Structure 1
Amino acid sequence: MTTWTVTAADAARSPLNREYNAEMISRYWGRPTDDAEIDAYERDEQDHDVPVFLVVSRDGEDAGCLGMRFLGDGVGELTRMFVRVPFRGRGAASALLAAMEDEALRRGVTVLRLDTRSDLVEARNLYAKHGFIEIENYNDAKYAGHWFEKRLTSAHLDAIS
Structure 2
Amino acid sequence: MRWRSAAYSATMAGVPQTPTTISINLVRPDSDVGSRILRDYYDDIVSRYHGRRATSAELDAVLLDEPSDDLVPPHGYFWAATDGTTPVGCAGLRLLPDALGEVTRVFVAGTARRQGIASRLLTGLEEVARSRGLSRLRLDTRHDLVEARRLYTGHGYVEVEPFNTSPYAEHWFAKPLD
TM-score of the two chains, using structure 1 as the length reference: 0.88
**SS of residue in 1 equivalent to 2:172:** strand
Query: Any residues of structure 2 matched to 1:124-139 within 5 Å, and which?
Result: 124-139=149-164
Number of equivalences:
152
Structure 1 range deviating more: 61-70 or 83-92 = 61-70
What amino acid is aligned across from residue 35 of structure 1 in structure 2? Answer: S
Structure 1: runs of 5+ lacking an equivalent = 154-161
| TM-aligned CA deviation for residue 12 of structure 1 | 2.1
**Which residue of structure 2 lines up, in the alignment, with residue 81 of structure 1?**
106
**8 Å CA contact 1:26, 1:32 repeated in 2:** yes
Is structure 2 residue 115 aligned with structure 1 residue 97? no
Q: Tell me, what secondary structure is at the counterpart of 2:30?
A: helix
Does 2:72 align with 1:47?
no
The range that moved more, 46-55 or 72-81, is 46-55
Residue of structure 2 aligned with 1:66, choices 52, 69, 91: 91
* Structure 2: gaps spanning 5 or more residues: 1-17
The match for 1:5 is 23
Q: Give per-residue Cα distances to partners, 1:4-63, cap 9 Å, x unaligned.
A: 4321000122110001111111000101111111111112x2133223001123455432
Matched residue SS, 2:96: strand
- 2:10 corresponds in structure 1 to none
Shift of 1:130: 0.7
C-alpha deviations, 1:65-102, integer Å up to 9, x for none?
Answer: 00011221010001101101111011000000111011
For 1:157, the equivalent position in structure 2 comes to none
TM-score by length of structure 2 reads: 0.80
Which whole-Å CA distance do the structure 2 matches of 1:59 and 1:2 have between them?
14
